[in-house]
Homo-oligomer: A and B are copies of this chain.
Amino acid sequence: MVSWFGRRAKRLEIPRLTGRGESLPTMKVDLGELVPPLPQFLGQAAYMELGVFESLAQAATAAPTVTVKGQLSRSAGLALAKHEALVGELRRHGSDPAEAMAPFAAELDAFRRMRAGATWPESLIGCYLTTGLLDDFFAALAVGLPGDTRSRVVKLIEQDAGFAVVVTEVTRAIAVDPKLASSLALWGRRLVGDTLLVARSALHVSGDLSRDESRIEPVFTEIIAAHTRRMDELGLTA
């Protein structure tokens, strides 16, 4: 068993799945009981999506062709739309969006800079894999939100994020230079740790560590399994 609280930290076991190309299943478990207060949840999720917009816009600027620049810009627009929908939820609940997001800015800005990596393919993978993980995580956590908000928020987090272009471009880059695969696989594995720290920071834990861990573990196992499928889809060994 993995400890998310660092007490019994051991090497993370990442399951290796083989069903390349199969559609990602919806999470079967949820973290509803560990959801933080609504403004905190929405503030963190909204600022996270704003960072996805920034990362994708930056990747668009560095894109090698006009076609790919256009595709990545559209993906950035989808992330911006998610951000704005979450900001709309904050307003609907009487929260000031900037105030709700501000506590998460420093950590998520650093996280955004980290995932940019050193090369364009790394920046693409960095944005895709971390956003996949965090979207899955926030969707699992959103199950604990009250009433109507829950279904609206889960639905908008699960919207298509326009990452098909990333899969296409990374696959193309590896086809051109097969040696890339091992360094990109390493990069994909390295991203997991920092991403789980961001996820961990969003949990509203009860204080009963062993009880919390027993709730968290199956969700994180599923989240890691979905990450592994994304790596697989990119042709990378997880």
Binding site for B on A (CB under 8 A): 47, 50, 53-54, 57-58, 60-61, 65-67, 69-70, 73-74, 76-77, 80-81, 83-84, 87, 97-98, 101-102, 105
A54 B61 Cβ-Cβ under 8 A: yes
Cα A77 to Cα B101 in complex, Å, equals 19
Given A57-B58, A58-B61, check contact A98 B67 (CB 8 Å). yes
Identify whether the interface residues of A are mostly helix, strand, loop, or mixed. Answer: helix
**Cα–Cα, bound, A80→B72 (Å):** 11
Rounded to whole Å, the gap between the CB of A52 and the closest CB of chain B is: 11
Q: A83 to B105, alpha carbons, bound, how many Å? A: 29
Q: Give CA–CA (A76, B70) in the complex, Å.
A: 14
A58 proximity list for chain B (CB < 8 A)? 57-58, 61
- Given A61-B58, A65-B98, A53–B70 Cβ distance below 8 Å? no
